[in-house]
Chain A
Amino acid sequence: AQKITQTQPGMFVQEKEAVTLDCTYDTSDQSYGLFWYKQPSSGEMIFLIYQGSYDEQNATEGRYSLNFQKARKSANLVISASQLGDSAMYFCAMRGSNFGNEKLTFGTGTRLTIIP
């Protein structure tokens, strides 16, 4: 079984500062994928970044980077230079296989609020 834990229910961050959203995971799979999604108040889940368990380098996508520490089973999302539009719910998720279409297991999310 897979489990995602997000321990920060809410965070407040000053605009333009960097923010780290925590995510730890548990799985017995040797191969897996980790995802971060953003969910604004409109409700859709927006894909942000993906990290495969065998990827040696941390994933980056623009202002988003994933701090992947495999031994600690953590996959924290770092947002640099935060913007007001970053205010949303953020979900960490895991898939059981790097190259498949297995189901996603989500955490409970972190509500991020950017303060002007």
Chain B
Amino acid sequence: GAGVSQTPSNKVTEKGKYVELRCDPISGHTALYWYRQSLGQGPEFLIYFQGTGAADDSGLPNDRFFAVRPEGSVSTLKIQRTERGDSAVYLCASSLTGVPTEAFFGQGTRLTVV
């Protein structure tokens, strides 16, 4: 597709369950970012991939959060033992490498932990 695609668009899960959120970036974009946006706040950085490797994972809140990008395109954000505080919109963005450019965002996955 032409833009960043995120699936599912909505996810409701029970506290303690495991969830996976998927991001399909723009073709050719080597940089991929995950952000989390809580209600009434701006997005907060979680992790940044350059190719297959996580170049910066300083925003991951704890070891329940993990992300992979095994082939340098699609990325999956994994959350174990979900808590109600994990409820938020998870945004994915991708961008080209090495030039002053904007990041293109997907529409996000709204995660609700009940």
Contacts and interface: CB of A to CB of B under 8 A. Distances in A.
Q: Do A and B come from one complex?
A: yes
Interface string B85-102: 000010101010111111
Interface string A1-34: 0001000000000000000000000000000010
Interface string B1-35: 00000000000000000000000000000010101
Contacts of B48: 101-103
Contacts of A93: 42
Contact of B43 (A42, A45, A47, A101): A45
Contacts of A68: none
B90 to A, nearest CB: 11
Contacts of B91: 45
A45 B100 contact: no
B114 interface: no
A44 interface: yes
Given A101-B48, A103-B48, A103-B56, A44 B42 contact: no
B76 interface: no
Contact of B31 (A46, A99, A101): A101
- Shortest Cβ-Cβ A-B pairs, 9 listed: A106-B42, A47-B102, A45-B105, A103-B45, A101-B31, A44-B107, A43-B108, A106-B43, A43-B107
11 contacts: A37-B105, A43-B89, A44-B106, A44-B107, A50-B102, A99-B99, A101-B48, A102-B48, A103-B33, A104-B103, A106-B35
Interface of B: 31, 33, 35, 40-45, 48, 50, 55-56, 59, 89, 91, 93, 95, 97-108, 110
